[in-house]
Amino acid sequence: MGSDAQLWEKATPTLREAAKCKDENLLNFHCGIKDKILKKYIKYSKNKSHTLTVVHRSKDDELIWENTEKKISLENNSYKTGREKNIEIRKEPSIFSFLATADPAHEKSDSLKIKFEDQNLYEMIFLPRKAKSLDLNKIHSYLSIKYGISLEKTKYYSSDGKIIWDPEKHKEFKYKPTGLGRDNGNDLYQKQSSNQADLFLTIGKNSIERTNVENQATFDNNQFVIWSDDNKELALKNDGEFDVLQKNWEINFIGNKVPKTDYRIRVLKEKMNPASLPIAYWMFLKKPDGSTQKIQGAEAEKYIIFNKVDFLNEFDSGDTVHFTFAVSPLKDSKIRGANQNQNSGTGLSANNSELSLDLTKINLYPNPVKKGQTFTVTFPPMEDLVISIYDGTGRLLKMENVDRKSNHYTNELDVQSAYI
């Protein structure tokens, strides 16, 4: 961003600091900077230009910063310039930038004070000059990816000035760009993200933790993953066997050897199944060759989780995939052993789509499985094997994709008894 930017307080907390953040105070899995800065003002010479950028979120009316001498102030619902007409602002997570030119006219003093409130601030960047257009774009791109606040109709830039993502090249999917990635030039290291204007979808590398710093996944420098949508309704439409969301997403892998496998996807259950009916959840991956891969998800409290999602594998070409989500009725014909009884409470099924299985080669031990007991399922190695665990009502409790070279699966249950 430039050698003249000064770091007052590193915005990325340690694991210990992150543990102290309350869930309601997190913004895209990041803690705020409340009480981290002792001085509640920036003192600066009037003879010089400056740029101030802040990230802020608050549902209540709140002053963010003000310059009393110039009668300029920024609140989360308005920008006041001392004129009769003020600019109204939507009250939502936002990135604000203020650029000021030099003021050589000395009034009461030769310096100015910009007072600010840090109650709901997440990051502040102050440059002792008026930022050029490219510099401002780099700052906004960094903050957008980090905090899940989209830059609409704007190109995304890395710290070295290269274009990461251009909405004009994604005209059908130019809405709400959100991303992951690493840029050592501005200390960006985002491993999980959700768009703050639409919290339906969260994507994380390997896992989704309570805070970003707790996610142990890795990216190399200048590796980015950006997804965007087609701005269609978040509503289900019947397509025969499935009820499919009308909204679609596009995900792009940008950089050299960007990881395209082992992602965790999380969506809000209330949007997919507001009545909490016993249904199956699906993620549809539309591959570059025109094929569609169906991945089954599992309920986890208020979310639907899709584990170990491989957007592209070694046999796929390209760096772009489209996807959406769907639901379907639970099928009665799950693969269950003859030993399962009505009072077992849990059914264990091995589901390999459109593949004929010899059930005598699939074994569970111990059988039955007691609550909290580790169990193992053995089976012949096969492609696209999914182990799914259901309760007695047919509700999917857990789902895991199994490596094609594996011949066993081990886990434990927090419910009583399981049979195969």
* 356-396 pLDDT, tens digit each: 456 567 777 776 677 777 788 888 888 777 787 766 555 66
Please check whether residue 280 is in contact with residue 327, taking contact to mean a CB–CB distance below 8 angstroms: yes
Q: Which tops the pLDDT comparison, 237 or 52?
A: 237
Q: What is this structure's pTM?
A: 0.73
Q: Which residues are CB-neighbours of 309 under 8 A, at least 6 positions away?
A: 261, 262, 263, 264, 265, 283, 285, 295
Per-residue pLDDT of 237-289, as tens digits, reads: 999 899 999 999 999 999 999 999 999 999 999 999 999 899 999 999 999 99
Position 92 confidence tier, pLDDT thresholds 50, 70, 90: confident
Give domain limits for the chain: 15-131, 163-329, 346-412
d(CA 229, CA 322) in angstroms, rounded, equals: 9
pLDDT of 77 over the 70 cut: no
Per-chain mean pLDDT for the chain: 80
pLDDT of 99 over the 60 cut: yes
Position 76 confidence tier, pLDDT thresholds 50, 70, 90: low
The confidence score (pLDDT) of residue 85 equals 62
Q: Which tops the pLDDT comparison, 277 or 6?
A: 277
| Highest mean pLDDT: which range of 118-127, 183-192, 361-370 | 183-192
Q: Which tops the pLDDT comparison, 400 or 292?
A: 292
The confidence score (pLDDT) of residue 104 equals 60
Query: Which of 282, 276, 292 lies closest to 245 in space, CA to CA?
Result: 282
Per-residue pLDDT of 137-157, as tens digits, reads: 999 999 999 999 999 889 999
The confidence score (pLDDT) of residue 23 equals 87
Per-residue pLDDT of 314-354, as tens digits, reads: 889 999 999 999 999 986 534 333 333 333 333 333 343 43
d(CA 127, CA 318) in angstroms, rounded, equals: 39
Mean pLDDT of 67-79: 68
Calculated CA dihedral for residues 180, 185, 186, 190, nearest 10 degrees: 20
The confidence score (pLDDT) of residue 203 equals 99
The confidence score (pLDDT) of residue 30 equals 92
Query: Which of 127, 131, 105 lies closest to 114 in space, CA to CA?
Result: 127
d(CA 182, CA 192) in angstroms, rounded, equals: 11
Question: Residue 277, SS3?
Answer: coil
Please check whether residue 65 is in contact with residue 73, taking contact to mean a CB–CB distance below 8 angstroms: yes
Mean pLDDT of 117-143: 86
Position 107 confidence tier, pLDDT thresholds 50, 70, 90: low
Stretch among 64-73, 108-117, 135-144 having the lowest mean pLDDT:
108-117
Q: Which residues are CB-neighbours of 240 under 8 A, at least 6 positions away?
A: none
Position 126 confidence tier, pLDDT thresholds 50, 70, 90: confident
The confidence score (pLDDT) of residue 267 equals 98
What b/e sequence results for 52-64 when a residue is b if at least 16 CB atoms lie within 10 Å of its CB, and e otherwise?
A: bbbbbbbeeebeb
Angle (nearest 5°) at CA 202 between 196 and 206: 140
